[in-house]
Amino acid sequence: MPQTTFDIFRYQPDFSDESYRQSFDLEHESEFTILDAMLELQNEQDGSLAVRYSCRSAICGSCAVRVNGKTVLACMTQVEAVKEEFGCETVRVDPIGNFAPIKDLVVDMDPFWEKFKSVKPYLIPDGPPPEKERIVSKEAMQKIYNESKCILCAACYSECNSFAADPEFVGPAAFAWGYRFAGDERDGQRRARAKLYSGQHGIWDCTRCMYCNERCPKGVDPRDAIEKLGGIAFNEGISWGDPGARHAKAFLISMKTGGKLNETMLVPFTNPIKSQLDVPFALKMMKKGKAPSPIPHRIKRLSEVKKLIKNVKETI
């Protein structure tokens, strides 16, 4: 049987305000998951070790932890596979990131649920309920299939770089659910949702670090959902107020006028007030030659691009 050392984050606030690390040696079956190992340690070596779990089958979303720094579901990650991936004999186990630990590997999920609730994660149809059930085509459901798979494990928040820098950022899983309903043809709140999600700490705050897509154990791709919500905001004409939306708009204008990004227009267009206040910085950039000519560069065969802009229909 394989033998593994587990280096585990410990935090027992009943005894001390300080967290510490503790090593455990365990001989275990070769198929053991991280969760199996934690429960074995809890049963056989230290009954005070706290770990959150329920289904053990990658469905309930309770047991996300960081293993060697990488957020995973403890129940679907095998110890031996981790050792092979990282070429190590000692496996580090930590609580998920960006949330305050309550005890050992268990974190306070209240902020996560608040964010989840803030996107109104339920169907809000227009008008009175119909007499019969609403039939939805397979194609229509396919559009929101990915987002429907979310099990709310918060693995995506654990390494979200925007959330780490701004705890008020609504964040990946919540927006995946936002799109799951905004993209549902039975929902009557498409425009209202796009408005709700577009505000400060909303979809335009995503820094596109792609950790959420990388970490999601169910293939939800939350960043793609955020992107689709941006598309809905544009389709609904909610694209002028927020600097994030204006940033995207500047790319569209650049594309139309020359085919390449017009950086000199991008800055004031994105944030007109701030860019005026930021003249000293702009001057420094100019001094270093980092303010290109305001006359847009024009690519060859721009007419093709103009036609694409005119013809291509969005299906979001």
Partner 1 sequence: MAKFAYYPGCIAEFSSKELNATTKALAPMLDIDLLPMPAATCCGAGDIAEAKPNLYLSLNVRILSQAEEMGADVMTICNVCTLNLRRANKIVKDDPRVLEAVNEELVKAGARPYEGTVDVTHLLWYLATEEGLSLLEKQGPKGLNGLRVAPYYGCQLLRPSSVMGFEDPDQPQSLERLIRALGGEVADYEAKSKCCGFPIILAREAVALKESHVALSQARDAGAECMVTPCPLCHLAMDAYQQKAEEANATEYNMPVLHLPQLIGMALGLDQSVMQFKRHMVSVEPVLDVVGR
Stretch 98-157 residues interacting with partner 1 (CB under 8 A): none
Q: Helix (H, G, I), strand (E, B), or coil: what is residue 232?
A: helix
Stretch 81-100 residues interacting with partner 1 (CB under 8 A): 85-86
**Residue 235 CB partners (closer than 8 Å, separation 6+):** 314, 316
Q: Which stretch binds partner 1 (CB under 8 A): 40-48, 57-65, 101-109, 162-170?
A: 162-170
CA angle (140, 178, 119) in 5-degree steps: 150
Instruction: Out of 213, 236, 257, 265, name the contact with partner 1 by CB under 8 A.
Output: 213
234 binds partner 1 (CB under 8 A): yes
210 binds partner 1 (CB under 8 A): yes
253 binds partner 1 (CB under 8 A): no
Single-letter residue type at 163: F
Residue number with CB closer to partner 1 (135 or 312):
312
Alpha-carbon distance 149 to 59, whole Å? Answer: 10
Tell me how far the alpha carbon of residue 48 is from its chain's centroid. 32
Question: Residue 220 burial (CB < 10 Å; 0-12/13-18/19+)?
Answer: buried
Q: Which stretch binds partner 1 (CB under 8 A): 29-37, 91-99, 179-187, 288-296?
A: 288-296
Q: Which stretch binds partner 1 (CB under 8 A): 28-36, 111-119, 133-141, 308-316?
A: 308-316
Q: Taking the complex as a whole, how short is the minimal distance between the CB of residue 286 and partner 1, in angstroms? A: 10
Instruction: Out of 59, 60, 76, 316, name the contact with partner 1 by CB under 8 A.
Output: 316
Q: Taking the complex as a whole, how short is the minimal distance between the CB of residue 238 and partner 1, in angstroms? A: 11
Measuring CA to CA, which residue among 4, 157, 166, 146 is closest to residue 66? 157
Q: What is the C-alpha radius of gyration for the chain, rounded to an integer number of angstroms?
A: 24
